[in-house]
Each structure stands twice: as C-alpha cells, then as structure tokens.
Amino acid sequence: MGLLESIRTLTWCQLLASGLFALLSAWYFYSGNQLLALAYLTGLLFISIHLFTKTQLAAKRQTYLGLLAFSAYCLVSLTLLLLPEHYQSLTALSLHLAFPFLAFSLLPFRPALLFVLGFTLVANLLAMIHLDGSFRFTFLTALWLVTLMTSVYSFTHELRQQNLYQLLSRNPETGLFNRKQLAQDLEKEQQRALREGTALAIFELESQESPVWSKKQLQDLLSVFAAYERIYHFSSKKLLILAPIKEQEQLQERSRQLEIDLDDLKLHSYLCPLDALPARILHSLQSDNKDMWL
C-alpha cells in the first residue's frame, strides 16, 4: 500500500508541476516574454510525455521523446542564461532551480546526471559573468545545494532499486536466480541467438542428496560454469543453466565434460528451440515433457 501511495503522490506532484508550468507559460506569453514562456512550455511538454503517454507508447519510444523534450528545455534554459536582462529578476532565475528535480524525477539516472552536471557547470560560469555580490552568492549557493541534494538522493534511490531488483530476481535459500528471472533471460537469449545465428543450450541438473544444494555443491557449480552462464533455481531439486553455443555439436562436447566435472549430479542437456515461447519451454521442463517443444 505504501508503494501505491508513493506512486499516487508522485503523479499528483507531476500534475501540479505541469499545471504550474502551463500557468506560468501562459502568463509570460501574455507579458511578452516569449523566451521565458517557451522554457516553461518545453518543461510542460516534458512532464506531459511522462504523464499521459505511458499506455500509448512503448518504453523505449517514450524515453527518446522524453530526452528530446528535455534537450529542448535545456537548450531554452541555457539561452535564457545568455541574456543579461534575465539576471535582473531572482524570480526568473529560480526557474533553473527546478532543472535537477525535473531531470532526476523523470529521466533515467545516468542521462539525468549528465544533463544536470553539464547544465549546472554552464549556469555557474554564466552566472559568474553576469552576476556579482550577494546576488551571485545567493543564486550559486541555491543552485549547487539543489544539485547536490537531488544528486545524492537520486544516487541512493538508484542503489536501493538495484538492491531490490537483486532480491526479487534471486532465490532466498540458494542465492541463485529464480524462475521469474529465468523466464526473462530465456526470452533475451532466444532473441540474441536468432540475431547472431547461434544456438542456445539448456542444462538441467538434479541433486540426489539431502539436504539439497549444499554450499559445497553451489561453489563447485560456480567454478564449472562461466560468468555469462547463469544458474537458476528451478525447483527444490533441479537447477537450470542457459549456455550460448555456436552449434549443436558443441552441446554434446560440453555435456560430456559436465558429466565428468559434476559426477555427483544427474545431468540432462537440451537444445533450446528459438521459436518457442519461454512459458511453453518452462512448462515442458517442469512436466518433463520435451515433446511440447516440437
């Protein structure tokens, strides 16, 4: 419920920000300051892309549109900083304090960080030229404080998100990747194999010991398989490994080597059908009915 409330709060904040940007844009157009109005208008466009296109656009296309709109907002903001008359009002300068908030709240972390650092450095240099005295000190202090706070918060939030993703993608008992991650990776590996004209092997390991999957067994497995060959906890006694291979003959050679290295485990190897749905493949592995792949 807390997560749902956070999402609702963020959406309401974005709605309020878009409404404020729309009002300010209309006001400055009415006042005759078209460039400042254009800055608020591009900011409104950027927020609107993230608010109203989530169901209509694919994630990648939405990201590109957001970057394009934010680039326009950044360009207009920098153009304003080149005008001497823009520095006569602290209210007009306060527009630039919203830049880090917009970047980190609506863009992926790395592009947002690049935008914010680049903009802050350029704004700092231009403010040093056009402002002096306490006015310059006030503006630069506020600008760097906002940049620092938003950067630190966004960085810690990104780390928490990565840690949460790691927890959700792994089995709590063994620390191996779980079935949800297996389904996602299987689809990606199928697409990669089709794109590169290679094959994909699935190795099935079954333990006969009790307790199942001791620490020594897991350490042995990690030493046998390469880092790009992920090990997945499929069931209480069964593990799966996805291994990219060049051709079918390589599957037989690798299977013989694994039978030697892992002689205490029961091994099955399969050539993954690249045109089958991942859910169908996983269901057939669960039911031990490989004919379903055909």
Average pLDDT over residues 101-124: 86
Taking the C-alpha atoms of residue 207 and residue 265, their distance in angstroms, rounded to an integer, is 5
| Per-residue pLDDT reduced to its tens digit, 25-54 | 888 888 888 888 888 888 888 887 777 655
* Domain identity same for 45 and 132: yes
Predicted pLDDT at 99:
86
Other Cβ atoms within 10 Å of 280 Cβ, number: 12
Place of tokens 């989530």: 54
Q: How many domains does the chain have?
A: 2
- Domain stops at, among 168, 199, 225: 168
> Does the pLDDT at position 220 exceed 50?
yes
Bridge-based pairing of strands 199-206 and 266-271 is: antiparallel
User: In whole angstroms, what is the distance from residue 96 CA to residue 143 CA?
Assistant: 8
CATH number at residue 211: 3.30.70.270
Q: Could you tell me if residue 174 is inside a domain?
A: no
Structure tokens that stand for 146 in this block: 């906002």
Gap between the Cα atoms of 268 and 185, Å rounded: 20
Q: Is the pTM of this model over 0.75?
A: no
CA–CA distances in Å: residue 157 to residues 154, 176, 244: 5, 24, 34
CA distance 123 to 38: 18
Return the SS3 of 240: strand
Name the domain boundary from 110, 139, 168: 168
Q: What percent of the chain has pLDDT over 70?
A: 89
Q: Give the end of a domain, one of 146, 168, 190.
A: 168
Q: Note whether residue 86 is domain-resident.
A: yes
Residues 26 and 160 grouped into a single domain: yes
| Residue 35 lies in domain | 2-168
DSSP string, 97-145: GGHHHHHHHHS-HHHHHHHHHHHHHHHHHHHHHH--HHHHHHHHHHHHH
CA distance 25 to 42: 9
Instruction: Give me the pLDDT at residue 11, please.
Output: 66
Least confident of 71-75, 211-215, 223-227, 289-293: 289-293
Tell me which residue of 39, 77, 69 sits closest to 52, measured CA to CA. 69
